[in-house]
Copies of this chain bind each other. A is one copy, B any other.
Amino acid sequence: MEYTKPLARLIEYFQKLPSIGPKTAQRLALYVIKMSENEVNNFANALLEAKEKISYCSNCFNMSSNNPCEICTDNTRNKGLICVVAETKDLMAIEKTNEYKGLYHVLQGLISPIDGIGPDDIRIKELLYRINQNDIKEVILALNPSVEGEATTLYLHKLLKPFNIKISRIAFGLPMGSELEYADEMTLLRAIEGRVAI
């Protein structure tokens, strides 16, 4: 069957989004057609406005409609503490804990030789510049426990050592609510290696 043209195009655009397959794209498109004209206009405007107004903070490379971003200009935050993450979505995940009150640095990627991404392709220079220019006391490395995350963590650790600041990394181990019996070997190994005195 051929979809009627404007429907086919809308389905195609939904399908370009991550984690949206053909069936979901069809469902979303049909839903849009049943929405009121006003709602569809607002949705289209939200898309355009987000794209137009949001850019990257020139200090920490977080996504924001302000530059510097809301986090960098928040005076209640500890300006001596930087948490290094790979992407804005990781920053958002940490913000949702509502506990961390320092600044961030978004690398906008991880070192990945296989994908041709080297240290110069992500925001490492900018991190060193911040540490040089500001009175930073501690850097927390909060990168994914993947090959790329580990490689980037090691690389950053080597680079940051000479600065004589505290460098830490987030803990890896059993997730809360999980069962030891079902944990994979690597996680269990990390949990044992990372054991803390009680």
Contacts and interface: CB of A to CB of B under 8 A. Distances in A.
Contacts of A41: 48
A24 B20 CA distance: 10
Interface residues of A, number: 55
A121 interface: no
A40 B51 contact: yes
Interface in A6-40: 6-7, 9-10, 12-13, 16-20, 24, 26-33, 35, 37, 39-40
Interface in A49-92: 49-54, 63-66, 69-70, 88-89, 92
Nearest to A9: B46
A6 B66 contact: no
Contacts of A114: none
B27 A19 contact: yes
Interface of A: 1-7, 9-10, 12-13, 16-20, 24, 26-33, 35, 37, 39-54, 63-66, 69-70, 88-89, 92, 95-96, 98
